[in-house]
């Protein structure tokens, strides 16, 4: 019997894990944050693919049957190759899923006027994954403005979630976004780190604008996936256990993740490089 692996470059995936546990508390989870090599958002396609592949293999070795890439950058740059090239050789019966497709599917429930802002890392923006997926699903229905917010991940990784510094960088990117399209009525926080800055983001955004975080969307989509795939569901242990792993200092991870998850957590430092 195996677990569900949840992977991110660092703390951001906790915004997904927290919602997944809320919706599906019965499963066993392995959370892996590659904090030692974060951020991924500024790295090349090759580096993100290599690091993500190593993390997936590590999670498989640790017993994950299904891995969620709780990271937009990894979903944008590595998911397709892992699914199509690596998985059939490595573990054809296991699955790796991402966060972009479920977010795009949910978009139609939010935007009224079709003007959508995508805030993400440089890597996700440059990959063009969101505009491509949106066009595939909806044709020309949405007017998309993408913006990279490269300072937001370092704020989160350094636990700078409030204060003048954080406020400055949040204001700066949101001004740029609305200067590009004043009609935006929906923003996708297309980086799993960004919901940790949500209280400050909400202060800078007009009240009629919907802000979409991905946690509940990915959680609902996973729940639906498991209902449709009983052959996967029956391979997953149901012990309600969550184990946390980081590639950097465990005490620091325990401190920051504990604040975010709302309870103390225990974490182990591991190496994932081959
Ligand atoms: N949290 C990740 C994402 O959703 C990556 C952030 C980073 O490491 O740059 O894109």
Q: Do 60 and 91 fall within a single domain?
A: yes
- Residue 156 belongs to a domain: yes
Residue 71 annotated to the active site: yes
Q: Do 18 and 76 fall within a single domain?
A: yes
Does 53 sit in the ligand 1 pocket, CB within 6 Å?
no
* Overall domain count for the chain: 2
Does 195 sit in the ligand 1 pocket, CB within 6 Å?
no
Q: Do 92 and 220 fall within a single domain?
A: yes
Q: Do 222 and 194 fall within a single domain?
A: no
- Residue 274 belongs to a domain: no
Confidence (pTM):
0.95
pLDDT at 239: 98
- Residue 178 belongs to a domain: yes
Q: Do 90 and 110 fall within a single domain?
A: no
- Residue 14 belongs to a domain: yes
pLDDT at 157: 84
pLDDT at 198: 96
Q: Residues 257-265: what's their mean pLDDT?
A: 91
Q: Do 221 and 87 fall within a single domain?
A: yes
Does 98 sit in the ligand 1 pocket, CB within 6 Å?
no
Going from the Cα of 120 to the center of ligand 1, the distance in angstroms, rounded, reads 8
CA–CA–CA angle 135, 174, 258 (5° rounding): 95
Q: Do 224 and 89 fall within a single domain?
A: yes
CATH code assigned at 255:
3.40.50.1860
Q: Do 21 and 90 fall within a single domain?
A: yes
Q: Residues 247-270: what's their mean pLDDT?
A: 94
- Residue 202 belongs to a domain: yes
| Residue 273 clears pLDDT 90, i.e. is over it | no
Task: Write the pLDDT tens digit of every residue in 102-118.
Answer: 999 999 999 999 999 99
Does 214 sit in the ligand 1 pocket, CB within 6 Å?
no
Going from the Cα of 39 to the center of ligand 1, the distance in angstroms, rounded, reads 6
Mean pLDDT of the chain: 96
| Residue 147 clears pLDDT 80, i.e. is over it | yes
pLDDT at 149: 97
Q: Do 33 and 48 fall within a single domain?
A: yes
- Residue 255 belongs to a domain: yes
pLDDT at 262: 87
Residue 191 annotated to the active site: yes
| Residue 271 clears pLDDT 90, i.e. is over it | yes
Mutate to test the pocket of ligand 1, among 6, 7, 9 (most ligand atoms within 8 A of CB): 9
Tell me the residue range of the domain where 136 lies. Answer: 101-213
| Residue 268 clears pLDDT 70, i.e. is over it | yes
Cα–Cα distance, 126 to 157 (Å, whole number): 22
| Residue 188 clears pLDDT 80, i.e. is over it | yes
pLDDT at 99: 98
| Residue 86 clears pLDDT 90, i.e. is over it | yes
pLDDT at 259: 84
Q: Residues 64-81: what's their mean pLDDT?
A: 97
pLDDT at 274: 59
Report the percentage of the chain scoring pLDDT > 70: 100
Q: Residues 238-250: what's their mean pLDDT?
A: 98
Q: Which of 31-40, 157-166, 181-190 has the lowest mean pLDDT?
A: 157-166
Q: Do 112 and 207 fall within a single domain?
A: yes
Does 236 sit in the ligand 1 pocket, CB within 6 Å?
no
Task: Write the pLDDT tens digit of every residue in 25-68.
Answer: 999 999 999 999 999 999 999 999 999 999 999 999 999 999 99
* Radius of gyration (C-alpha) of the chain in whole angstroms: 18
Task: Write the pLDDT tens digit of every residue in 196-237.
Answer: 999 999 999 999 999 999 999 999 999 999 999 999 999 999
């Amino acid at each position: 019997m195996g677990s569900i692996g949840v992977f991110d470059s660092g703390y951001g995936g906790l915004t997904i894990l927290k919602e997944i546990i809320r919706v599906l508390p019965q499963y066993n989870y392995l959370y892996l944050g590659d904090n030692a090599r974060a951020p991924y958002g500024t790295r090349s396609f090759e580096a993100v693919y290599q690091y993500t592949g190593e993390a997936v293999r590590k999670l498989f070795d640790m017993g994950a049957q299904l891995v969620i890439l709780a990271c937009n950058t990894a979903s944008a740059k590595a998911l397709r190759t892992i699914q199509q090239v690596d998985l059939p050789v490595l573990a054809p019966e296991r699955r790796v899923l991402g966060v972009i497709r479920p977010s795009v599917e949910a978009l139609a429930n939010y935007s009224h006027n079709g003007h959508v802002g995508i805030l993400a890392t440089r890597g996700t923006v440059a990959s063009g994954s969101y505009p491509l997926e949106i066009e595939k699903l909806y044709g020309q229905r949405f007017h998309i403005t993408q913006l990279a917010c490269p300072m937001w991940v370092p704020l989160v990784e350094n636990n700078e979630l409030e204060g003048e510094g954080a406020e400055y960088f949040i204001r700066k990117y949101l001004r740029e976004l609305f200067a590009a399209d004043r009609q935006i009525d929906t923003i996708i926080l297309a980086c799993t780190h960004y919901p940790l800055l949500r209280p400050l983001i909400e202060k800078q955004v007009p009240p009629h604008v919907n802000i979409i975080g991905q946690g509940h969307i990915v959680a609902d989509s996973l729940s639906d996936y498991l209902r449709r795939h009983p052959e996967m569901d029956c391979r997953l242990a149901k012990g309600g256990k969550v184990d946390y792993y980081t590639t950097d200092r465990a005490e620091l991870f325990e401190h920051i993740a504990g604040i975010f998850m709302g309870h103390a957590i225990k974490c182990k430092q591991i190496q994932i490089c081959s």
